[in-house]
Structure 1
């Protein structure tokens, strides 16, 4: 019997321009796949993150307001606990293809229940029409705690700093925080800069070669970070295995 094709899309996250931001592969699973297969596919895509979406049974329960999906993230070498740009890519896929009828979707993940909200954007004030011109997506993520680290505990600082001196070094308990435009890293950066600058809202520019922009808001009481950005699909197809 022929195997079912697995639909995938590659989405550039935290950008509205193709070939910018951070690319993530998003695969939609209609049946269970073992971890070895998931890891092999992620290695085959060889992008920073591959996200796997599965529809959960509870989305059909009348008590559920928002649709819920299972979501897992894999780098080419291992599974991770949290990924911002691949979550944005997964939400973009669901919203852009009309697969959900609400403006909020929930994801069941290794970091708990995460939500993605579609936020319409109105036209400029001088426009004759108030209809939205598009939307961004806001992710509701947990704060990642950071701790100070002694300089002696850190390997030689990368030459990518171009000779700039380091005033302070911090580390998180999470690994796999990488460029370009890693939303999970901003779950640690947002509370850090909130304490430094005394404010809770930021616009972050990821100064990587591909670039990327995030709007950030910290809810200090609930220890949540809201990351808002855009995404654009650049590729779609089906896995044959």
Structure 2
């Protein structure tokens, strides 16, 4: 009809956030996409591949898992790398909470995400209003025999090898971890293709440092990895006899995480900085 234009469908809101950092261009960048209805997996993966970040989180107001629908701060969450869906992603969850509590529901004190790893809670840290506290399941690693193929792929032999959801290669010094230059193609062939390298931190300001290599899921080195600290926190808590730990992931971008053991759970505390907002046109 003359004078009437077809309304263009609204796009999907997307926010890019630098997680585990109080400084833009540091920490780990994640995209957070807010859905108004479920999308098929192929489309979600295509969006994540287009973003080409280590993870894209997709949020949908939850209607499942027995959650109280009258509570506005409950969402389902899924995480995709550019090549696959993953079971747990800490930095993209922190980024998602930053978006929900900072923009979508600024009066809420916490947000709960239903996920493939169960119910995940992120709360405001009342000791520091700009920090967020994630409550995740701990994943204590277990000792395992030395693996020559893994040492060869890392380019160095760790003093200790552990395994949980990922390999954990423990070194004696921070310098050894910083100097690692892995053969990513070789690492990708060692299931699950994801390896944490860790060591005691230099000085008294931090307890431990780490790097995380994940070529098995399309990420050679992840800048800052929350899920890795679900493994590292129980290991270092036992080794250092401390329940509160200060950690830095010493990737090129770098990032700081405070870890607190709570029984079989671990709290991961960090900051976020918004980088960009946009709309996805499908």
Shorter-chain TM-score: what band?
0.7 to 0.9
Is this contact kept in 2: 1:145–1:173, CA < 8 A?
A: no
**Cross-structure match for 1:173:** 165
| Deviation sequence 1:87-115 (CA, Å, 0-9, x none) | 00000011111425221110000011100
Aligned match of 2:140 in 141, 145, 170? 145
TM-score for the superposition, normalised by structure 1? 0.85
Aligned match of 2:97 in 88, 91, 97? 91
Is this contact kept in 1: 2:15–2:278, CA < 8 A?
A: yes
| Deviation sequence 1:59-108 (CA, Å, 0-9, x none) | 542xx4x6200100001111011010000000001111142522111000
Q: Distance in 1 between matches of 2:102 and 2:55?
A: 20
Q: Distance in 2 between matches of 1:191 and 1:112?
A: 19
Give the alignment's Cα RMSD to 1 decimal: 1.9
**Match of 1:151, SS?**
coil
Q: Distance in 2 between matches of 1:191 and 1:69?
A: 28
Q: Highest relative contact order (Cα 8 Å, sep 6+), 1 or 2?
A: 1
Deviation at 1:171, TM superposition (A): 2.0
List alignment gaps of at least 5 residues for structure 1. 123-133
Deviation at 1:184, TM superposition (A): 0.3
Deviation at 1:150, TM superposition (A): 1.9
Matched, 1:24 2:19: no
Q: Distance in 1 between matches of 2:37 and 2:78?
A: 14
Mean CA deviation greater in 42-51 or 146-155: 146-155
Matched, 1:224 2:265: yes
Q: Distance in 1 between matches of 2:57 and 2:147?
A: 36
**Match of 2:147, SS?**
helix
**Cross-structure match for 1:47:** 53
Q: Distance in 2 between matches of 1:200 and 1:79?
A: 32
The number of residues matched between the two structures is 221
TM-score for the superposition, normalised by structure 2? 0.73
Matched, 1:233 2:239: no
Matched, 1:68 2:74: yes
List alignment gaps of at least 5 residues for structure 2. 1-6, 167-191, 196-211, 213-221
| Deviation sequence 1:12-32 (CA, Å, 0-9, x none) | 000010000001110000111
Q: Distance in 2 between matches of 1:73 and 1:41?
A: 11
